[in-house]
Each structure stands twice: as C-alpha cells, then as structure tokens.
Structure 1
C-alpha cells in the first residue's frame, strides 16, 4: 500500500497537482478572459512523512523553487499541440513555490484567452503544461516509486465542455466514461480516499453578467448571480458522475 500511495501521490503532486485543485475561468464581455488554476500540496507531503515514506523523498529535499515561468518557450517543445494551443501556451505563465524540506509545494498557472472556444480546451492543456514543467525540473530525481507511477489523469477527461457566447455546458461523455474503471490513476485515488485522502476539484466560473439559468446538481450561485462554484470529489465522479454536469446561460 505504501508503494501505491507514493506512486499515485507523486504522480499527482509532482506532475499535475490534481489531488486538491481549484480551477477558475473568468469571462469578459468581449468573449475573452482568463483561466487560472492553483494547488497547495504541503499537507500531502507531510502525510507522506507520517506514513514512513520520508526516505523515498530524500532525493528531492534540496529542490527549492520560487519563481514565475513564462511559458512561451514551452510552446514549441511540447509535442502534439495544435497551432491554437501553441498560441495559448505562448501567453501563459506558471508560478512554482517548492521547498520539500519544509513540505511546501504550491503551483499556479494563468492563461489568457481571446474567445470562448479557447477556454474549453485550456483545462486539459494546463495539465499537460504542469506535467511538462515538473518533468523538466525533477527529471532523474524521482524515487523509484515515482518513476513507476501510473499516468496522471483527471475528471475533465471524461466530460465535454462547450463554451459559447452566452452559455457554458459540460456533459458526461458516456463512451469515455464507460472506460473510467480502467483508469489506473483514478482507481488508485479512489482507494486512497478510504484513508482520508480524497481527490477534490473546485471549479469557479466568473460571468460577465448575471446568469439567467444555472442547472446542475452541485452548482452554487452567488447572490449577484455572476459567480458559479462547483465542488466535487473522487467519490462523486465514480458514484454520481452527473454531479459534474451543468448548463449555464447568461
């Protein structure tokens, strides 16, 4: 169990940071806006030590970073990007604050976009960026359990997000979801939830004007109807995936 824990933990914290993740989309009246995502993984690193796996992190203790990286140079180094994705990466920035000797690890990514359609492709793109940067920083320094970790994934891979002028819709892709039980990373995270370590995601959408419709089992609408919040965890994903669906009109 300890090897499973460390492998999944390293996959999520060192590559994508999706154990406890907040993603925020801000839409402007002109259709453009800003995507941002942030994570704080210090508690998770502390839990590794409590479980007696501190020696597995010993090779990373001297890794310290506190920087903001402009990702323009990463646009050409990432494989398989479309021209539109490269343009988005060229305007993005990534903040890293890491000191494993004090169990500190925070990440933040900011990516502006020009029209609503771009916002829908940014969520998976941001995860790819975080993984690429982490691999560059930690290449060759991961303990054996980390190098054998399952490929990281996320809830977003199983939903179709459509953002158009005046509406945002996320729908479960039933064909992809039928294979979710084969997702080794998410299966591992569900097993770890029984130990009190639950994979959680919070999604925030800031609208340019009040919502006229907000449908979704777990949606929370602010008093001025311009801010939508959705919080879910790994059990929601497997037991009631419809909780992650929504329709917003504004």
Structure 2
C-alpha cells in the first residue's frame, strides 16, 4: 500500500473533528473519518478520494472488531489516531428532578468511548513505524466549573487514562498526546448559555492542534490566556469559588 501517512479521526462529522479532517487532507494525509453518521463529511467525500468514512458509535463495544476490520481494508496501518468524539451535558442540581443518570451517560461516551476507541485502533497503530495516539481532554480539568460534574470528571478521567497509557505504550514505541482545548465554537458549545472566554473557531483550534500534534508533546493546552486564567483558579480556589459560584447569603 501507499507510504502516505494515515490518520483516523473520531467525532469527525462536525466541529473540531471535521476541521481536523480538512487540515489533514490539506497536508496530504490519508484520512479515515469516523462518527455515528457522515454529517458534514458528505461534501468532502464527494470531492476527495483520500477521505474514507467508517461509521463507529464509540459506545458500542460490539462494533470494535468490525470497525477495525473495515479500516484494515482501507489502510495497512494507522500512523496517527485522534480520538476526538465526545459529548457534554450539565447537571442541574437545583432542579426539582436532578438527572443523576446523566453522570453515567456522559462517562459512557467520553471516557469509555475513548477506551473503546483505543481498543479499536491500537493493533493498527502497532503496525506503523511512527505510531501516535492522540486523545482529546479539556481545559475544564484545570479548574472546577459549575454544573460540569459529569463533563469535567469524564475529561479528567481521559487525562489520567492517557497519562498512564503513555507509560505502557512507550516501550512499544507508541507516542501518546493529551490535548486540552478551551472553548471552541462547535454545534455542541453553541448550546451553552454562559460566557465562554477566549472562544475560538473550530478551524483555528484544529490548526493549532495539527501543529502541536506534529511535535508529539505529552500535553498541549490552548489557548494560553485561558490556561493562565485557570491556573489562577486552581491555585486560588477560594477566590475562584467566589468568582464563579458566590454564596447567595454572602453580602460582602
């Protein structure tokens, strides 16, 4: 098969994933894109033979082997896997009927979905001479946010999972990178009803991620101004709590 670099991108039908697909195509990679449905990938697929769509619901463990077999029909290995698929919901703890089941739902998609994705792609990465596994966490893990119990916990689990996985994959020659994006303008974040400081376009985010991934860092958090703000929140938790979630009885 061709010596062209090959990348697998999940959550590729919209948002950051779709933008990453476009950047990798511009860099002349062979791209295998996965999501539950083609979404906005359809137009690209009609004009670029380097792009192949392989449907994958990352929550469905029964599809792991069949998806791997299908990708193996398209490419002999994966040089890079970017595990980007995920979702977000917020916990309404003051509501009359708090949806605690949402915690399991978000963890199932974000964390266990990533575990399933790693299980799917690892054998194909091991066939590459320069394998690179990339997982998407979030800047939300840097400091606590209101109502983000499920989302933040799932992304923190991803971060530790990738850090530990790096230890076990290093002897096999597989590099592992954890990316922590800030607020990015996507169909998912457009549902947010709160201020999103330093909001970036999906294209700008994907461009920065693509450049960082080529350097194979352990972690890459962006944008820097948000990282600085969250550093303050992490190191001055009482100030952060009062700023984001002031006590209603506090008149000071």
Q: TM-score, normalised by structure 2?
A: 0.34
Using the size of structure 1 for normalisation, the TM-score is: 0.35
Relative contact order (alpha carbons < 8 A, sep ≥ 6): 1 or 2 greater? Answer: 1
